[in-house]
Structure 1
Amino acid sequence: MTLPRLLTIADAATAGDRLPAIVAEAVRSGARAVVLRARDLPRDTRDRYAAALCRILEPVGGRLILAGPQDGGELHGPGDAVHLATRQPFPTPRPALVGRSCHTADEVARAAAEGCDYVTVSPVYPTLSKPGYGPPLGPAGLAGLAALAGRDRPGPLVYALGGVTPAAVPECLAAGAYGVAVMGPVLRTPRIVLDYLEGLAG
């Protein structure tokens, strides 16, 4: 399964009803994989956002990944793609695409053992959006977790997350990340996707 090297994380609680317009501009700038984070919103609101983002991504062959809801609702997202929180159980039956948030070696090892397609590893750099997860991993910590994920082939793809600026992309790739996952910068300035894609192509 081929995934783009850029994951755009669309946080509905932060963006509110501006979310579809933000994602539309990000997609026009080249984003092709969007993780909809709307776990704490009512099911009907989450479904409304998911439908809107699907309409935006479909014409360009993009993929919407639904961050697994916390309300006991259906884990499978549109297109059968789901992103799991660190401690969420692996869903049965297995969705077509499964990612998981990871912060430690044990969490990466677990995701690899259960057959996740990708993991986000965070926080790589200082960021206000990832409180409570200890000090940033830095490039060296990222390299260690990326190596662990790739120890058994095929292992999950590793996306660097947390404080990743366009300038930091080459450093993340050199540390072994497959790509980067970004939330805040894209929510604030969707066209910054172009800068991330330039770094990922370099």
Structure 2
Amino acid sequence: MSPNPIDLSLYLVLDPDLCGGPEGMVRTARLAAANGATVVQLRAPDWKKRQWLETAVALKAALAPFGVPLIINDQVDVALAVDADGVHVGQDDLPPAEARRLIGPRRILGLSVSSAAELAGVPDGVDYLGAGPVYPTGTKPDAAPASGVDSFAGLVAATALPVVAIGGIHAGNCAPLFAAGARGVAVVSAICGQPDPARATLALRRKIEEFPPSC
């Protein structure tokens, strides 16, 4: 069991373009948290540090009333500066062992994997894995090819860590992922940029609640 338990069931990854910039990201995060999102990640690879910092501060304040953790993608210094709940790193980011050393034992650490080879290299200290893309996605241009549900299920079966599925996921296609053992689903466009983010979050939440929490 992870030393830092976290409800990963509905994991929102914010996109600055789809949300309409920092104010839209904070608004979307607040609506999502109020309607069933359990984790929010700030991801903005093209931003300068000051914008990361200012938006992270605003997000943390927006999420605090709901008890929803804020995860910072890659930017360990920003996470430490705002006392975020955790950090998520990819295969080309700061190595997870170094990220753990910097953030200490109490913060959450997530790692992206897309293959059995990457899974085999996961070190101690990682709390959860993000696996995918499972379905084709247009929100991350440098993403690996879609793996499909069967490959995702194989990754889940090969690790004791909780695994979150990511990539092209929405309320209409998340059921097979929970059936395959996903602990949660990470979504971007299924909430970000939707005409009604609150309603979109609720639709996902209702679908997720069809599955027992242990899935």
Provide the residue aligned with 2:163 in structure 1.
158
Are the aligned partners of 2:40 and 2:71 in contact in 1 as well (CA < 8 Å)? Answer: yes
Provide the residue aligned with 2:102 in structure 1.
93
Provide the residue aligned with 2:135 in structure 1.
125
Provide the residue aligned with 2:72 in structure 1.
66
Provide the residue aligned with 2:213 in structure 1.
none
Counterpart of 1:108 in 2: which secondary structure?
helix
How far 1:68 sits from its partner (Å)?
Answer: 1.2
Counterpart selection for 1:52 from 28, 52, 58: 58
* Pair 28,133 (structure 1): closer, same or farther in 2 beyond 3 Å: closer
Q: Give every structure 1 segment of 4 or more consecutive aligned residues whose post-TM-superposition deviation is greater than 6 Å.
A: none
* Pair 59,40 (structure 1): closer, same or farther in 2 beyond 3 Å: same
1: CA distance, partners of 2:78 / 2:50:
12
The answer for unaligned runs of 5 or more in structure 2 is: 211-215
Quick check: 1:109 aligned with 2:120? Answer: yes
Provide the residue aligned with 2:205 in structure 1.
197
Deviation track 1:12-71 (CA, whole Å, cap 9, x = no partner) reads 3543132111212212222231000023311111011101111111011110000012xx
When structure 1 is superposed on structure 2, of 172-181 and 123-132 the one drifting more is 123-132
Report sequence identity in percent. Answer: 30
Provide the residue aligned with 1:153 in structure 2.
none
Q: TM-score, normalised by structure 2?
A: 0.82
How far 1:147 sits from its partner (Å)?
Answer: 1.0
The answer for unaligned runs of 5 or more in structure 1 is: 151-155
2: CA distance, partners of 1:105 / 1:38:
27
Counterpart of 2:102 in 1: which secondary structure?
coil
Quick check: 1:170 aligned with 2:175? Answer: yes
2: CA distance, partners of 1:130 / 1:149:
25
1: CA distance, partners of 2:70 / 2:83:
7
Q: TM-score, normalised by structure 1?
A: 0.87
Tell me how many residue pairs correspond in the alignment.
Answer: 194
How far 1:137 sits from its partner (Å)?
Answer: 1.1
